[in-house]
């Protein structure tokens, strides 16, 4: 879960980076770099719900094993 939370600001930087460079500094990235950044950002962004589901699953598994040990 911490990984998913930690990666969110990085994804925002990758998403907004090219437009900030263009507006603030009048720098335009080459088209291939812009496309790679967009593909990576969208791919990781779509993986965030999966990371949260994995964290939830691990939490529930840990909770069940902890409860079984507590009763015993």
Average pLDDT over the chain reads 82
The set of residues, in sequence order, having a beta carbon less than 8 Å from that of 3 and lying 6+ positions away, is: 51
The pTM (predicted TM-score) of the whole model is 0.55
pLDDT above 80 (res 68):
no
Average pLDDT over residues 10-34: 87
Measured CA to CA, the distance from residue 67 to residue 62 in angstroms comes to 9
Render pLDDT for 38-63 as a digit per residue (tens, 0 to 9). Answer: 888 888 888 888 888 988 898 899 88
pLDDT of 23 reads 92
pLDDT of 70 reads 52
The set of residues, in sequence order, having a beta carbon less than 8 Å from that of 1 and lying 6+ positions away, is: 51, 52, 55
């Amino acid at each position: 879960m911490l990984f998913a939370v930690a990666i969110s600001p990085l994804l925002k930087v990758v998403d907004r980076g090219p437009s900030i460079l263009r507006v603030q500094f009048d720098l335009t990235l080459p088209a291939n770099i812009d496309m790679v950044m967009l593909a990576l950002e969208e791919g990781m962004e779509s993986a965030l719900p999966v990371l949260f589901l994995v964290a939830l699953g691990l939490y529930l598994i840990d909770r069940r094993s902890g409860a079984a040990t507590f009763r015993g």
